[in-house]
Structure 1
Amino acid sequence: MPRYARAEREALADLLLALGPDAPTINEGWATRDLAAHLVLRERRPDAAGGIVLPPLRGHAERVRRRLADSPYAELVARVRRPPLWSPISNPLTDEVANLMEFFIHHEDVRRAAPGWRPRDLPAGLQRALWKRAAPMARLALRRFPADLYVQAPDHGEVSVGRGGERLRVVGPPGELVLFFSGRQRVARVQVNGAVEAAQRLRAASLGF
């Protein structure tokens, strides 16, 4: 079974080391050291990881992340590269399910902050794995969006979402759709076809989780 999550993790760790701790990412306010600290917190600090998604715990999570970001950078990246086996989200049984999206998206967060970046030519198997995740992401992110949306990944499939109204078609490779529906519309290479105003609303909508 291909281990795409592991490959994305390794590639991201290599890139983090190559760029150093203060390189930009597309995550507002975060340099590479901040992103690395987020990944370490998520896997190694269960007491704080809930704050990534639960607002009442967000303050504690942010304090822990900032302390982690002050760690020696090479040590921080080494912890990203080699997660603990005890982690419920990073052991061999759960890694591919829990981490493919996390590491693919954050790898691109770093890549696409650099001048002159270009989309990668992703393996067909990785594109298929990403489409399996992009379709439910689109349904969740757009379930209340006031339009009829058709999300299409050529050679992979199409889903219909939205609350009804003007018709929009969002077309792109699975990896680009994953980025789009994770709130990274400004760097995702997708086509949004349909009424101009509705397309602009979609591109500006808050779609992250």
Structure 2
Amino acid sequence: MSLAQRERHALVATMTEAGPAAPTLCGTWTVHDLAAHLVVRERRPDASVGIVFGPMAGYLEAKQAQIAQRPFAELLELVRTGPPWWSPLRPVDAVANLSEMFIHHEDVRRAEPGWEPRQLAERDEARLWTALRAVARTAYRKSPVPVVLTSLQGAEIKAHRGDGDAVVLTGTPSELLLHAFGRDEVRIAATGADADVQAVLATDRSV
């Protein structure tokens, strides 16, 4: 079973435990809203293009609201079973859904007070490091200063180049990936000039 599949099953278990009205780190979305989002993304390609194509955002929002009317248990079962056979996401689930499932799992976990990072296997952290490489430059493209991402083992990703001294963000691949996707509930260390560090941490990191 791929890491994406394991995170998918763990996400559904965490959603079930949290309940439909529980908060998430996705703005005002509840767990029920997040489940509806995942169903739209995998089962309504006509609407899911609105995730990245602004003019379709209204249609996406309408379809997501419609799907959110379904019972919570039904939505969770659709999330658990993953993309249907006809979905273009199904053949590439292990790659295309890795970050999606991991990050949204943490969106539910970390919306609760007292959360702690999970201890992931080294091979899983390695997979997340690969995922981080794929999005790092996009995530930090708006940074006003150079940004370097560094793992605890010393591996580096130059996420944003430019003039001046870089801000270095250090942590496990899982924590750095969450930060790259705009989450602030993370355990990372940031070094550099104070003003530069604050600027990087406040940067819009939407991918």
The answer to whether TM tops 0.5 is: yes
Residue 144 (structure 1) shift: 4.4
**What amino acid maps onto 1:110 in structure 2?**
V
Specify the alignment match of 1:72 in structure 2.
Answer: 71
Give secondary structure in 2 for the equivalent of 1:187: coil
Specify the alignment match of 1:38 in structure 2.
Answer: 37
Instruction: Say if 2:49 is the partner of 1:50.
Output: yes
The 1-side partners of 2:202 and 2:144 are apart by: 14
Contact 1:144 1:163 in 2 (8 A): no
Specify the alignment match of 1:177 in structure 2.
Answer: 176
Specify the alignment match of 1:95 in structure 2.
Answer: 93
Specify the alignment match of 2:147 in structure 1.
Answer: 149
What do the CA deviations read for 1:123-156 (whole angstroms, capped 9, x no partner)? 1111000001112322222234221222101226
Question: Which is further off, 156-165 or 50-59?
Answer: 156-165
Specify the alignment match of 1:190 in structure 2.
Answer: 188
Residue 81 (structure 1) shift: 0.4
Residue 19 (structure 1) shift: 1.4
The 2-side partners of 1:203 and 1:148 are apart by: 12
Contact 1:131 1:156 in 2 (8 A): no
Specify the alignment match of 1:86 in structure 2.
Answer: 86
Specify the alignment match of 2:19 in structure 1.
Answer: 20
Specify the alignment match of 2:105 in structure 1.
Answer: 107
Which runs of 5 or more residues in structure 1 are unaligned? none
Specify the alignment match of 2:61 in structure 1.
Answer: 62
The number of residue pairs the alignment matches comes to: 205
Which runs of 5 or more residues in structure 2 are unaligned? none
* Residues 96-135 of structure 1 mapped to structure 2, 5 A cutoff: 96-135=94-133
The 2-side partners of 1:32 and 1:143 are apart by: 30
The 4+ residue runs of structure 1 with deviation greater than 6 A are: none
Instruction: Say if 2:193 is the partner of 1:202.
Output: no
Give secondary structure in 2 for the equivalent of 1:169: strand
**What amino acid maps onto 2:97 in structure 1?**
N
| Alignment TM-score, normalising by the size of structure 2 | 0.95
The 2-side partners of 1:144 and 1:166 are apart by: 16
Query: Which one scores higher on RCO, CA 8 angstroms, separation ≥ 6?
Result: 2
Contact 2:145 2:162 in 1 (8 A): yes
Identity %: 41
| Alignment TM-score, normalising by the size of structure 1 | 0.94
